[in-house]
Amino acid sequence: MFEWIASPEAWVALATLAALEIVLGIDNIIFISILVGRLPDHQREPARLIGLALAMITRLGLLFSIAWIMGLTEPWFTVLGEEISGRDVILIGGGLFLLAKATHEIHNSLEGVDGSAGSAAAASFGMVLVQIAILDIVFSLDSVITAVGLVDHVSIMAIAIILAVAVMLFAARPIGDFVDRHPTIKMLALSFLILVGVTLIIEGFDVHVPKGYIYFAMAFSVAVEMLNIRLRKKQASAVKLHKALRED
């Protein structure tokens, strides 16, 4: 299971995936914060901690279920002479999901209309946890499918997800503030989802894409953006992205 430990490429994959999982988890943190804000002050921190723990459990559960289906290589049906297995269905369906998800998020962030969370009445602790659990399932899909598309080892995916949730647990606010100050980081992450989505679809049709090319493209883009951020420090402030929900 851990034969990848001696592979430098595997460690690069772990670092890349963990960083991407953190950025993709920002929206999850924002929605959890909005829901937790409906609780009395003394219940907010426990609810936030339980919410993030549920996020990790949900991601790991989805990861292992998808990883199991990925092992189904026997053909399920044939399309235009091409045999489609359970693994191919997950890859192609996951790729299409990431393309739609990323395109929708980019549109809403740049051209959408700011919404409002409204002045909802105070909710019960249990009801808030139920809502957080449901949201975690929705937000977990893209992160888990991204993990499956980027890495070949389930153990690396699991470690990256655990690391990402641990970082979000202790640094949710600084990370959120950084992404808010530098919205191009979020745009890069969504662009990476498009890249991963296309790769998944291609591999779903039995065309292997070396992961090293994907890591290089991501690393190069991030390096260029870090230089841009340093150069823009003394210039005009960054563009503010639209948000689907905003805390009152």
**DSSP code at position 84:** E
- Higher pLDDT, residue 209 or 176: 209
**Predicted pLDDT at 117:** 44
**Predicted pLDDT at 248:** 45
- Higher pLDDT, residue 188 or 87: 188
Predicted TM-score (pTM) of this structure: 0.64
How distant, in Å, are the alpha carbons of 68, 91, 197, 211 from that of 73?
A: 11, 12, 20, 21
70: pLDDT strictly greater than 70? no
The encoded tokens of residue 163 equal: 């690391």
- Higher pLDDT, residue 25 or 17: 17
- Judge contact between 225 and 179, C-beta under 8 A: no
Return the bridge partners of 79, or none.
Answer: 82
133-137: long-range contacts at Cβ-Cβ below 8 A with a sequence spacing of 24 or more? 133/54, 133/58, 135/28, 135/31, 135/32, 135/35, 136/28, 136/51, 136/54, 136/55, 136/58, 136/59, 137/58, 137/62
The encoded tokens of residue 55 equal: 């996020």
CB atoms closer than 10 angstroms to residue 151: 21
- Average model confidence (pLDDT) for the chain? 75
The pLDDT-based confidence of 6 (bands split at 50, 70, 90) is: confident
> Cα–Cα distance between 216 and 218 in angstroms, integer?
5
Q: Looking at 170-174, 180-184, 192-196, 211-215, which range is the least confident one?
A: 170-174
**Predicted pLDDT at 116:** 46
**Predicted pLDDT at 172:** 64
